Structure 1
Amino acid sequence: MKKRVLSLLTLTFALTVALNSCTIDVNDGLGDGTVTTPGTTESVLSGSGTLSGTISKDLLIKKGNYTLKGIVKITGNATLTIEAGANFTVDTSTNSSLVVLQDGKINAVGTASEPIVFTTTTKTPGDWGGITLYGNAPIKAINGTATALSEDGNAVYYGGNDANSNSGTMKFIRVEYAGKKIGDGTSETNSMTFYAVGAGTTLENLVTYKGTDDGYEFFGGTVSAKNIVSYGNYDDSFDWQDAWSGQNNTNWYAFQTGVGNFGMEIEASSNVDNVAPKISNITLIRNTNTNPETANSPEISAIQFKKQGTGIFSNVYISGYKNIGNQKGYSVLIQDAATETSQVNTGKVVVSPLTYLNSDNAGVWGYAYTPNGAKTFTNTSTVTKVVLTAGAWATVDGVNLLAGLQ
């Protein structure tokens, strides 16, 4: 086996250079840094350098410090493998993001003590476009269409027919200061975005930190996520549409501070016939003096359902959602009568058991209209906060992002 080790100090790695492909695997799946390369030639970014352009051949990025510049796309059946302890500082002089297209794959496995981190030197929310994955799983967009055009500026059509499609593995990854506005200013990327991503993809122990749009957004697909943290994101902590239907989600934690809209914003793009996603163990905390992006906005409730949005949520702990001015904060807000009739009243919207503390309007769901059978609830003392492993993966500049769970 011939190895090519590139020591890059100032040289930008030219990703468009023709490279012989090989398969690169983390041999035990634990992110311990042991890498096998069974091909004849490997492409390795070793210790430092700049990641840019289009990646169309397998690439291994070893532990070290790197720059990510521009919109980096993984395509051509290539796999981008990133070792634990790789840190990327994003070049904010241009529009930058990491995009895994339908024919690409990511294998980025950090550890609790050596996460994979994407950050910026200016540390300003909205500095870059975050990480976006495209898969080939089914979606239901507006009017039930099976494909739709992405709203992230990449102009990619998404939506497929493989519910188990595999876009790769992401574990112990932290994305900071993402959620960049695009073009006309009406479109944005999120810190992490998943377009039609399939259930064969692994998403575990992820952090999104102080982005200007959503922490995580799912556009259809069937992927599930475990042990994910949304901290200080300006819009919604968790958001989905296009009938996302992940069934094996657990341990979701949001801490809203400073600026923040809904803890969770849920819709199914007005499709009545959708499969409700399932999430066990949710903790949503709104810090004191957290305000919505727009003054006098009603976007201050913990969980909003609209446009036929559904979800079966169990063991939900909510704290800190209070009225602001004339706007009321609720544990659950139903935005339209159609969602109540077709989803709430048919059992496809469930938030139970629920503990709702240090918040206003306890014991009742909120409605943006006159409801047909308003929901009530009783606080369940047995529900406790999510439990997550502490470590560097959830620490920024010495601040423990999991402190709110203690």
Structure 2
Amino acid sequence: SELPLYLLLGLVCGLVSLSLSKLTSFMLAVSDTVQSNLGIPKAAFPIVGGSTVGLIALAYPEILYWGFQNVDTLLESRPLANSLSADLLLQLVAAKIVASSLSRASGLVGGYYAPSLFIGAATGMAYGKLLSSFTSISDPLFRISILEVASPKAYGLVGMAATLAGVCQVPLTAVLLLFELTQDYRIVLPLLGAVGLSSWIASKGGTSVNNVRNSKPGNRYRDYSVVTSADAEESDGRNNGICEIESSLCLNEGPDDDADSLASEMSVSQAMRTEYVRIPLRSDVMDVVSLMLEAKQPYALIVDDDCRLVGELTLRDIQQSLESLMRRKIRPQVVTVSDLCSLWGKRRSVVSRSVTPNTSLVSAVNLMNELGLSHVAVVHEGGGGGIVVGVLDMESIHVTTR
């Protein structure tokens, strides 16, 4: 009979999870804007963030983390623990969301696992206490059994799992975690409903904190990223026939013939990597370096606004260019990819080093050997700078023809 109430709790936890994700993204954007416009050093942000969180903790000391004793206090599972009112629990939810977002934006080390459990426990306990206050009747003669609800602790436990699923997008992990804690089969059905609804709302409402966490402050990589062939197919519907697979490396499933004879029968689309670093001309060079290091790629493909190949940029190119520019008293922070292209002429020299998905693998290997290249861009159209759909390198060729 309480299943609709647990579903409503899942809805509330989904909205709370979404608010944490949105506020984190907003804080990251604000910190990035302040840093770029005012030139404040990165080392100052943790000081400001820690000081602000400390000021919040003066009013709400429960938001500080000293182990899972915080959650035990919220769930009132410790002996002689003071009971917290519903309005104070809601204030703790808001304070913890602000403190967690501010900590993430200021560069302080921390995750979302423990904060999501704290926020979920406080949300569930507040929800349970509000339900109890609405359904309780002081006179036992008029007590109606159908109006009786579970204790706030039960809603607090389900709120923990639902918020964890919404924030981190791990619904199955949240369900198994709570069942392991309770060892009670009766909680499984309402738990599944609340967790599923919370995860769905958070996923439909915007970016999860997993994606926010893996990006730089302010989402400065919004114009360039590590992309796959699926992203390229969305921008150009003519890429039908290219190998579609979730892996970043398209492998041939044929028999193990001799590598040379196998390569002669294969096309580039069967061996190319569909994951690569793509950057526009207007990108800041320092951001490009961070992205390449994060993706563990020594090179990046330069594209225009239509995702057409313009050129290529390597870490060695960037290092040599910045050394030359610094001798001219030019700050690296103001240098863009377009500046480096103009300096080294990359826009004219790299476009011809590309192949199409239908090119035979042997022809591509011969081209790479002739030019002394370890990799070559794969474009949908001819060598005039077509839509980029992948990268072919020697490693992928060896793996495919093994």
TM-score by length of 2: 0.26
Rg larger in structure: 2
Name the structure with the higher strand share.
Answer: 1
Larger relative contact order, structure 1 or 2 (CA cutoff 8 Å, min sep 6): 2
Name the structure with the higher helix share.
Answer: 2
TM-score by length of 1: 0.26
